[in-house]
Structure 1
Amino acid sequence: MQTDQEQGRKNKVGLRDRLKHFTWAWFTTTMSTGGLALALGETPHKFEGLHTIGVIVFLFNIILFLLFCALMTSRLIIDPPRFKHSFVNPSESFFFPSFILSLAVILGGIQIYGVTIGPEGTWLITAIRIVYWIYASFSLINVISQYWIFICRTPARPLPMNPSWFLPGYSTMLTGTIASMIAGSQPPEHRVPIIISGCAYQGFGWLISFALIVMYLTRLMESGLPTPSLRPGMFIPIGAPSYTIIALIGQARAIPRSYGYFLTHASAADICQTVALFASIFLWILSFWLLCIALLACLERVREMGFALSWWAFIFPNVGFIVGTVEIGKELNSEGILWVGSAMTICLVMIWLMCIFACVRAVTRGRIMWPGRDEDKDM
């Protein structure tokens, strides 16, 4: 039997032809790498040099994101029809939000490494606020238009259920998560609108995701587990309750007690923080259950799991689970929970290293970015 490398030499596929198959799913790499930078920044137990490592990962992700943007632009120039069709092809189009989510984690990284534990600066706080509102508008337009396209314009029926369906809702839901991260550093007159909008977006994204979780579980019960190489995608649903935990606790913590509604309702902030904490504990166990199902599915066929870009689902959803665990630990003042969060962060770093190695190896061997082997293979 010929290896992928031998087959690649035989077919002689050039760089130009390979760039035609640089799909939106590649941005799951930057989405996850940026998420890793956030997890490193939020780790409760830090050692000397961890901040530097986090900054390096954050900057590396920005470089990677710009590179991917350049490669996607090359795809547009080389093959405009295929690029245009990528927005309506079910297999690829649902990965477009990974581009938007990459912007979200970059914004979150700027907040953590530039404001929260960085040099700060009034101009940066203002810039983050402006970019936040731009992102909020862009993500809402995307989630409306993308689901509309597949409800009304897709000729094929029925569409096979795929975990990537969660990503448009995630792009909106992460607005709430970013709001929880940036609100605390904003002036009170800007903080309240950010918290309110973040709550609305998070609730909207969570309700969409919850409906999809029901569809996802129904599909598993009716059709069984997906093929081994696609099973890492089963981690994607974990992000819905996990990032909701981060948003609820972070927004409640950022409430300005001496401004507006919260000034005239003195107990509102304490009530919101209490409800946020116990609702988060309620959601945490759901995240853990989804994690166990996905993990068992992958372990069952681990030897058959050839690399696909869906492997990056090992990282991004679990970033939310880890940071959500840490946030609960902070609220409960539980050192044990915080150590669990730190241990999970170490595991996340190891998995990221595995994914980056496997991704580079798959590219060099022609397993991805190759005719007939990517999300655009049915175009």
Structure 2
Amino acid sequence: MSLDQVGDATITKRRSRVSSLDRHIHGWSWQSFPIGMGTGAVFVTLSGLKEHPSWLTSVETGFWSLNMAIFLLNVVTLSIQALEFPHRAWSLLQDPVEGLFPPMMVLSFATIIIGTVNYAVVNGPASPNVVYVLFWIYVGLSLATCFPMLMIWFNQPHDILRFTPGYAFLVFPLMLTGVVAFNILRVMDPLDSRALGVLFVGYFFQGMSWILHDLLLSWYISVATGFMEGHQANSAFVACGPPGFTALSLINLADHASAILPAHGIISNTAGDIWYAASVMAALLLYGLAVFFFFLGIIPYWFKLHKRLDQILACWALTFPNVGWISTTGVLGKILNVQGLFIVHIVMDTLLFLTWLVLIVLTAKAIWKGLIFNAKDEDVLKDSIFSVNEKFTADNHSDAGTLV
């Protein structure tokens, strides 16, 4: 029997077997992880509010739990897809658009670690040793994800006219190392020698990825790029991430450095205070850049966006890239004693929550209507045929080897 006959027989046999579950598994993509990141953005920003009643902590814990559930759903679904439809899984990694989103899995894991620190260590039974181990797992995952994808990306030329800030996703996990690091240091003893490693690794990767992001984003503000059109209008907000998260990391890492460095006799007794003072100034400069990028994205947004429900996943970029500068707003308010910044922080947190609410409803509606995460029957059958043909070829080789 020929391969074509096997394929025809498979179509006849499996046409009635393409269930709704098969279509959803085949249609799932790495763009599902920004949903969890947007959910994590809510509790991360709310946790930084100056006024923090106990009921708000309960709300944040609920969002953290939902974030973990979404993360597990995505990991399990994509794993099943890789087993059942390996050609589909491989094509997603090679796609010029979808291929930018695998690092989002690592970023989603970062929000889970931050939530674990806030709600399972600070206010719960977990040990600081747990999140210390999670920190190094995060660093390992970031390196294992970012560097291979960067090698693939740099292996071919790119047209500057088609550049979007979304390319910054390739290094985003490394950039959040500083954010994860200062959250871990919150529950570690400054006298612990392991705190030095977390501090310096946080600085190392934060600086490296921030500068690389700035070099990439310099293309975005060039005249050739201009305002983003259609679903790419959402990626304009990705530009807020590097300066915003770096500002947040510099202040908080330096805050811990002011206690850790003198405790271990590193550099000098005043090194920590000098780092802190310099970091506040640098953070203020970066904060201004992040706010600029935010308004550069929000002013033309409604006029450039294509209002299509099947492109709703791209709209989740309205949430997580803005977490850095929004959280920095509250931190600078405390340091500089500017009451207006506290008001801005509350307003932006409220708007972020409302944005999440609208997006989660529209995303659920898009899934219900089959506009996203839903493949066509013929696509499911086609990829299934590929799997059967590979097995058929392997069996033939095996039989030939046996005859020999």
Q: Give yes or no for TM over 0.5.
A: yes
Deviation, 1:174, is 0.5
CA contact (8 A) 1:111 1:181 kept: yes
CA contact (8 A) 1:180 1:246 kept: no
CA contact (8 A) 1:228 1:305 kept: no
SS state at 2:263 partner = coil
1:72 aligned to 2:95? no
SS state at 1:304 partner = coil
Could you tell me which of 267, 271, 283 is aligned with 1:268? 271
Could you tell me which of 309, 325, 340 is aligned with 2:329? 325
CA contact (8 A) 1:45 1:342 kept: no
1:147 aligned to 2:153? no
Deviation, 1:224, is 3.5
Distance (Å, rounded) in 2 between the aligned partners of 1:212 and 1:303: 25
Deviation, 1:254, is 0.9
Hey, what does 1:23 align to over in structure 2? 29
Could you tell me which of 362, 368, 371 is aligned with 2:372? 368
Deviation, 1:247, is 0.8
User: Match of 1:59, as an amino acid?
Assistant: S
TM-score (structure 1 length as normaliser): 0.87
Alpha-carbon distance change, 371 to 130 in structure 1, aligned in 2, over 3 angstroms: same
User: Match of 2:24, as an amino acid?
Assistant: R
1:45 aligned to 2:25? no
User: Match of 1:119, as an amino acid?
Assistant: G
Could you tell me which of 178, 199, 206 is aligned with 1:202? 206
CA contact (8 A) 2:237 2:317 kept: yes
Could you tell me which of 91, 99, 106 is aligned with 2:105? 99
User: Match of 1:345, as an amino acid?
Assistant: D
Alpha-carbon distance change, 26 to 45 in structure 1, aligned in 2, over 3 angstroms: same
TM-score (structure 2 length as normaliser): 0.82
Deviation, 1:190, is 1.4
Could you tell me which of 268, 282, 289 is aligned with 1:286? 289
Could you tell me which of 323, 335, 341 is aligned with 2:345? 341
Which moves more between the two structures, 162-171 or 285-294?
162-171
Task: Summarize the alignment of residues 107-122 of structure 1 with structure 2, pairs less than 5 Å apart.
Answer: 107-116=113-122, 118-119=123-124, 121=126
Distance (Å, rounded) in 1 between the aligned partners of 2:337 and 2:135: 30
Task: Give per-residue Cα distances to partners, 1:316-374, cap 9 Å, x unaligned.
Answer: 011112111112112223332122212211111101001101111111122222448xx
User: Match of 1:17, as an amino acid?
Assistant: R
SS state at 2:171 partner = helix
Identity of aligned residues (%): 23
Could you tell me which of 168, 185, 205 is aligned with 1:166? 168
1:89 aligned to 2:95? yes
SS state at 1:328 partner = helix
Deviation, 1:230, is 2.8
Distance (Å, rounded) in 2 between the aligned partners of 1:195 and 1:333: 26
Hey, what does 1:59 align to over in structure 2? 65
Runs of 4+ in 1 over 4 A off after TM superposition: 156-159
Distance (Å, rounded) in 2 between the aligned partners of 1:177 and 1:14: 40
Hey, what does 2:247 align to over in structure 1? 245
Deviation, 1:287, is 0.4
CA contact (8 A) 2:164 2:232 kept: no
Hey, what does 2:362 align to over in structure 1? 358
Distance (Å, rounded) in 2 between the aligned partners of 1:45 and 1:303: 38
1:217 aligned to 2:217? no
Distance (Å, rounded) in 1 between the aligned partners of 2:29 and 2:51: 37
Alpha-carbon distance change, 331 to 137 in structure 1, aligned in 2, over 3 angstroms: same
Could you tell me which of 300, 304, 325 is aligned with 2:303? 300
Report the count of equivalent residues: 354
User: Match of 2:49, as an amino acid?
Assistant: T
CA contact (8 A) 1:246 1:320 kept: yes
CA contact (8 A) 1:16 1:78 kept: no
Task: Give per-residue Cα distances to partners, 1:253-290, cap 9 Å, x unaligned.
Answer: 1122542244x611111111111101000001100110
Segments of 5+ residues of structure 2 without an aligned counterpart are 1-17, 377-382, 384-404
Distance (Å, rounded) in 2 between the aligned partners of 1:161 and 1:15: 35
